Chain A
Amino acid sequence: MQFAFTEDQLLFRDTVAEFFANECPPEKVRWSWDDAVGRDASTWAALAEMGVIGLTVPEAFGGMGMNEIDLLPILTEAGRYAYPAPLVETVAVVAPLLAESAPAAIAEKWLPGIADGSVIATVQLDGQPFVNDMHIANLLVAQRDDRLFAVPADKVRSTQQVSVDGARRLFAVEWDEADAELIASGDAALQAVNRAFDRGAAATAALLIGLSEQMIAMTVAYVVDRKQFGVPIGSFQAVKHHLADAELKVSFARPAVWAAAYGLATGSDDVDREVSMAKCFASDAAEVVARKALQTHGAIGYTTEHDLHFWLKRSWALASSWGDALWHRRRVAHLLLDN
């Protein structure tokens, strides 16, 4: 029994964290709100150079051939820095899906490009109304009933939506089967969809852990600094208890997310339950932490001049993406109760 990451995994994570600290400061997040495209190709290329983008691509296709236990701590760092780019879609979902489920020709066509950073992939499964980052993607992997398709981005007609998180880019999409290549159909497709959904949910849970940790860190810094009645507001018990509650939520969601990573990487029999518990707890935690962070910041947190709102709004968006807490709790209920 060893419920912890290896030294190598932690070192890789720390290297990526340092990269984000330099390359994705809050000003970059603010830029992605204001800029029409809002995506920085050079950061993506540098992450590809570091092996992050090709992390889940098999070595035969130029990737690192690693799994979710390696990936999820890195996504936690991406969440901490609110990095605006489709890491979940490309790295956590599409690359392993193509590697496991696509015919060789399709895998060979797209996977080397994902690994070297030249192909950005996004995804739409049943129940997901909108697609992330269609505007910069080269490839859309999409479900249509019991079939999965690879659709080149230039064959996709998209209508941009507007998220509360101004750094997100969401699109309603349309495409024709004549322009798409079939990845899988029938049971094979549905199994691939289920695994893809689990991977997207667990990866998003990891982002939410990082977002939550950062909101707590920002709030701690604020309440230590901010004085009222002649003392730091962090000395007031009401403020302490808000923050303790926030820390409590994250502390017991985090191990659930690591367990989901382990379940995905090892093909656990209970992986659906493990993933749904992780996303349920991470979504709930982020929502509580966001509330506590805003309340404790007070009026300054209620402005868009302060950076906090980038994290609040990302948390709201991701808490309900890839299944919200309610959806995942019901899935766990089904798995526990209906047999």
Chain B
Amino acid sequence: MDLNFTPAEEAFRAEARAWLEANVPVGLPSGDTAEGFALHVEWEKKLFDARWSVVSWPEEYGGRGASLWEWIIFEEEYYRAGGPQRVTQNGIFLLAPTIFEFGTPEQKERFLPAMAAADDLWCQGWSEPDAGSDLAGIKSRAARDDERGGWVINGQKTWTTRGAFCNWVFGLFRTDPDAARHSGMTYLLVPLDAPGVTVRGVERLDGDEGFAEVFFDDVFVSDDLVLGGVNEGWGVAMATASSERGLTLRSPGRFCAAADRLVDLWKRQNAAGEHAERVAAMRDDVAQSWMEAEAYRLATLADVTGLVKGVSQGARSSLTKIYWSELDVNLNETALRLLGPAAELIETSPDAVDGGAWMKGFEFALSGPIYAGTNEIQRNVVAERVLGLPRK
């Protein structure tokens, strides 16, 4: 057991820290509005120009060939410096691992560099109006068009995060309607400017137009936009889903940085000397939230130690997803209780504490137990595939 990073890893940390401290933008608006999104894309391009946008990717695609440990370090430094959540995350963290695993050389060449550079902006198309937790119940159809050499899509996707601002969507479509539920689906990459695509923004709980519905009306996609095999989309999608549940989307850095900010908020409230009883009563909860973030960091260090040796997380990634999503809610909720009557002020309110970031963070955190497979589904996965309870 050795919980130290190597000198080379610490040098990587120092380089990342220095660049991030000099360059992380201050006070960016939410990336889930049209104008905010544009500013975030600018920031993503700046990251790319300095080769910090996809550190763990090979150099030929715009990365630094960083190890998993260096990626963990980068994420710690990114959030420590106050970096905003990545509006490119669905592409770089969810689609990219799938392209690395299933993509043809041409697909890698075509999509990865443009994704790293934030030229192509990707959203995901899983859920449909009648298929949420029961993802295998999707109905959107892609029919074979031999003449044109491709597929014709009809149907609807929904809850597509940042769908109104992106230019590509990846997702599952039913290509063999007669096949069994989990067969007959294909993973397709679809340009949102293709004829027949309609995107309608949907206002989220936090008031941002962060969601979208995407309608497909005879949308043609050519064969080179099939990722993995035809009718093999379920297996391809599950590879992406486990990235989303597990490590890649939620490195510990974001939660540890938030926990440190919570400690700082408590100290500021304490120093202000107002609401002394409330501040005193919240000590244990602040400590608990900080420890939950720390526990997530430690569990990640153990998981990454295993991953480096080739031991995959498997179904345990569902435990990870439950834990980070619930700790995120607890942490923001703790901050709101600490703020008391000031908690309700949002970012446009002149007297909002920390620019209303805690209510914003709380509302965002509330989506965590719902997206990427609800925590109810994750608990089923834990019971059945980690503990071995019977499905029926």
Contact = CB atoms under 8 A, between A and B. Distances in A.
Interface of A: 1-6, 69, 216, 220, 223-224, 231-232, 234-235, 237, 239-241, 243-245, 247-248, 251-253, 255-256, 258-259, 261-262, 265, 277, 280-281, 326, 329-330, 332-333, 336-337
Interface stretch (B96-104, B117-125, B210-218, B293-301): B293-301
- Main SS of the interface on chain B? helix
B390 A337 contact: no
Contacts of B6: 1
Contacts of B323: 248, 251-252
B376 interface: yes
B3 A259 contact: yes
Interface string B151-175: 0000000000000000000000000
21 contacts: A1-B3, A1-B4, A1-B69, A3-B298, A5-B1, A220-B387, A235-B392, A240-B379, A240-B383, A241-B379, A241-B383, A245-B379, A247-B382, A247-B386, A258-B1, A258-B298, A258-B302, A262-B3, A281-B291, A337-B266, A337-B286
Contacts of A4: 1, 302, 305-306
A326 to B, nearest CB: 7
A253 B225 CA distance: 44
B389 interface: yes
B180 to A, nearest CB: 22
Q: Tell me which of A240, A280, A329 has the highest count of chain B C-beta atoms within 10 A of its own C-beta.
A: A240
A193 to B, nearest CB: 23
B263 interface: yes
A337 B6 CA distance: 30
A6 B1 CA distance: 7
Interface in B359-392: 376, 378-380, 382-384, 386-392
A1 B10 CA distance: 11
Nearest to B383: A240
Interface residues of B, number: 48
B383 to A, nearest CB: 3
Contact of B295 (A6, A237, A245, A255): A255
- Sorted nearest first, the 9 A-B pairs with minimum C-beta distance are A240-B383, A333-B287, A244-B379, A255-B298, A234-B389, A244-B382, A3-B301, A333-B283, A332-B287
Given A1-B301, A248-B323, A277 B286 contact: no
Contacts of A232: 389-390
Contacts of B284: 326, 329-330, 333
A336 B383 contact: no
Contacts of A259: 3, 298
Main DSSP-derived SS at the A contact region: helix
Nearest to B291: A277
Contacts, number: 141
A248 B319 CA distance: 6
A2 B376 contact: no
B305 A330 contact: no
A277 B1 contact: no
Contact of B380 (A237, A265, A337): A237
B286 A333 contact: yes
Contacts of B263: 336-337
A6 B2 CA distance: 10
B319 A251 contact: yes
Interface string B43-84: 000000000000000000000000001000000000000000
Interface string B105-142: 00000000000000000000000000000000000000
B273 to A, nearest CB: 15
A29 B302 CA distance: 33
A114 B185 CA distance: 66
Contacts of A252: 292, 295-296, 299, 319, 323
Interface centre among B286, B287, B316 (most CB of A within 10 A): B287
B270 interface: yes
B203 to A, nearest CB: 32
Given A216-B387, A220-B389, A329-B284, 11 more contacts: A1-B2, A2-B1, A244-B387, A247-B319, A247-B387, A255-B298, A255-B302, A256-B291, A256-B298, A329-B287, A332-B291
Interface string B319-340: 1001100000000000000000
